[in-house]
Amino acid sequence: IPATSVPSPSGSVPGAAAPFRPLFNDFGPPSMGYVQGSQSSYPDLLSVIEEMGKEIRPTYAGSKSAMERLKRGIIHARALVRECLAETERNART
């Protein structure tokens, strides 16, 4: 994934650098598709959280697809939080 792309759990979003491509699967740990240490995970995490917010209202309205996108977004966000914590630990040691 190019450094300028921003994954989006709700599909192709106007203004996003690239269409959403899942970086994880349901059959193992998330790979996230990043090279370790290539760039900060914080902007990616903020983007995922922002996109998840757009799925809340449709989920309450009963949209099954929005619920699935929200679930995938949560999984993605959890993996990014782990990356951010690891990045913080690495930065604290240097």
CA 36 to chain centre: 16
Is pTM beyond 0.75? Reply is: no
Predicted confidence at residue 40, as pLDDT, reads: 83
Q: Read off the pLDDT of residues 16-47 as tens digits, 9 standing for 90 and up.
A: 444 444 444 444 444 444 444 457 889 999 99
Token pair, residue 81, equals 């939080």
Percent of the chain at pLDDT exceeding 70:
59
Name 84's Cβ contacts closer than 8 Å, sequence gap at least 6. 41, 42, 45
**Secondary structure element (H or E) that encloses residue 71, with its range:** helix 64-93
Name the strand (E) or helix (H) holding 46: helix 42-60
Distance between the two ends of the chain, CA-based, in angstroms? 27
Task: Output Rg (C-alpha) for the chain, integer angstroms.
Answer: 14
CA distance 1 to 46: 17
* Domain layout of the chain by residue ranges: 41-92
pLDDT reading at 57 higher than 50: yes
